[in-house]
Amino acid sequence: MSENDQRLLAIANSAAYRRGTEVLEAGFESNRDFSYRWRTDGKKIAVLYIPDYLDKAPDRVLLEFVEAAIDHIQGRETALGGEYMRYTTSDGFIQEKRPVFLKRSRNLARTDTGKVRNIYDAVQRLLDGGLLTPDDLDDTYFTWTSAPNYTRLGYCQQMFRVVAVSSVLDDVSIPEYVFDFVVYHECLHLRQGYRPFNRHPHDPEFHRQEKLYPMYREAEAYLKKIPLMRKGGHPRKG
């Protein structure tokens, strides 16, 4: 066990003791998304591995994360402390760890310029239309996917402020309003901000804002047709 893993284990057990349990093994592990892994053995937590994005975090930040993780494991309400949130939303953390996330994400083209479309053109139209503000987009990394995804047309990693758009939409046969709507949807997740342990990102307020899009119903209807493109051809109009 490395010295850093030993540090984490000691911190984890200080949190576990106050919750009537014990952590037998803890460490940092590499993963793309900001997820953690655990296994219980009776009332004890046999294994607790947290993302290595936090390997340089101060003790207090680790403590707040582990406390929330153990609460989640034990089925209690989870809430992360202020030190953790300040650390993980800081410019320094994002700038250091976002390249790691991008490197681990295999299906990202790492460019906002597609064959026929540029994601920033959609962003500018949304800004001009008053649907987005510059604050929504501060320090955001936009990219196309490398391979087309017909079922997940957009993705937002809120912690690292990365928005990915499926290359399926990089096609002039797809109406511009559909492309813009997908970008708008993902940017609304940016507006929500990083919300750890949030199981309901599409809450009523999100849907209220989503429906402000002028062609919301038309875009939603068209998006339902896109999975059919995988079988050949383009969706029929009407």
- The pLDDT of residue 81 is 87
d(CA 144, CA 170): 8
Answer positive or negative: Cα dihedral of 59, 61, 106, 47.
positive
DSSP state of 107: T
Three-state SS at 134 = helix
CA angle (36, 40, 46) in 5-degree steps = 80
- 180, two tokens: 């813009």
Delimit the domains of the chain by residue range: 3-88, 102-231
Query: What predicted TM-score, i.e. pTM, was given to this entire model?
Result: 0.90
Beta carbons within 10 angstroms of residue 226's beta carbon: 21
- 76, two tokens: 């209690």
Q: Which has more confidence, 196 or 141?
A: 141
N-term to C-term CA, the chain? 62
**Is 3-88's fold the same as 102-231's?**
yes
> CATH 3.20.20: does it fit domain 3-88?
no
Please determine, for residue 136, whether its predicted confidence score (pLDDT) is greater than 80: yes
d(CA 221, CA 238): 10
Ranges 28-32, 101-105, 175-179, 230-234: which has the least confidence = 230-234
Please answer whether residues 7 and 55 qualify as being in contact, where contact means their C-beta atoms are separated by less than 8 angstroms: no
Please determine, for residue 114, whether its predicted confidence score (pLDDT) is greater than 80: yes
- The pLDDT of residue 235 is 41
Q: Which has more confidence, 78 or 123?
A: 123
- The pLDDT of residue 232 is 54
- 24, two tokens: 């037998």
Q: Edge-to-edge strands of the sheet including 26-29?
A: 26-29, 44-51, 37-41
Closest C-alpha to 10, from 87, 77, 74, 62: 62
Express as a percent the part of the chain with pLDDT over 70.
97
Domain boundaries 102-231, corresponding CATH code? 3.30.2010.10
CA angle (53, 55, 57) in 5-degree steps = 95
Please determine, for residue 140, whether its predicted confidence score (pLDDT) is greater than 90: yes
d(CA 170, CA 179): 8
The mean of the pLDDT values for the chain is 93
Please determine, for residue 7, whether its predicted confidence score (pLDDT) is greater than 70: yes
User: How does pLDDT run across 142-164, given as a tens digit for each residue?
Assistant: 999 999 999 999 999 999 999 99
